[in-house]
Structure 1
Amino acid sequence: MKYYEWEGAVTEAVAEAMCISHSDAAGVVEAQPFYMQQSWGKGLDVPQTAAKVIEAAQAA
């Protein structure tokens, strides 16, 4: 899976988990570049990354 495919899947997972639109989820994901890059580098899967992004967004 390429990064852009993985990022899209994370965005979809965030949208579903938070019950928000795709565009709102994209904003949430884009606001957490550190967690996205860290998760990609560590090879985390989509659900793990979505959970980290949501947790970070709710803490902010």
Structure 2
Amino acid sequence: MKYFEWEGAVTEAVAETLAMNHSDAAGIVEAQPFYTQQSWGKGVDAQLTAAKILAVDQAE
């Protein structure tokens, strides 16, 4: 899987979890570049990455 495919899956997971559109979910994912890059580098799957991003986003 290429990075852009994986990032799209992360965005879709966020959109589904929060029942929002793709654009809004992409904004949430893009606001957390550290966690996205860290997860990609460690080989974390899209669902776990989305959960991590949502946990951080809600804590802020």
Shorter-chain TM-score: which interval? over 0.9
Q: Does 1:16 align with 2:50?
A: no
Question: Which structure 2 segments of 5+ residues have no match?
Answer: none
Q: How large is the Cα RMSD of the aligned pairs?
A: 0.5
Q: TM-score, normalised by structure 2?
A: 0.97
Q: TM-score, normalised by structure 1?
A: 0.97
Identity of aligned residues (%): 70
Task: Quote how far apart the aligned CAs of 1:45 are.
Answer: 0.4
Moved over 2 A (4+): none
Question: Which structure 1 segments of 5+ residues have no match?
Answer: none
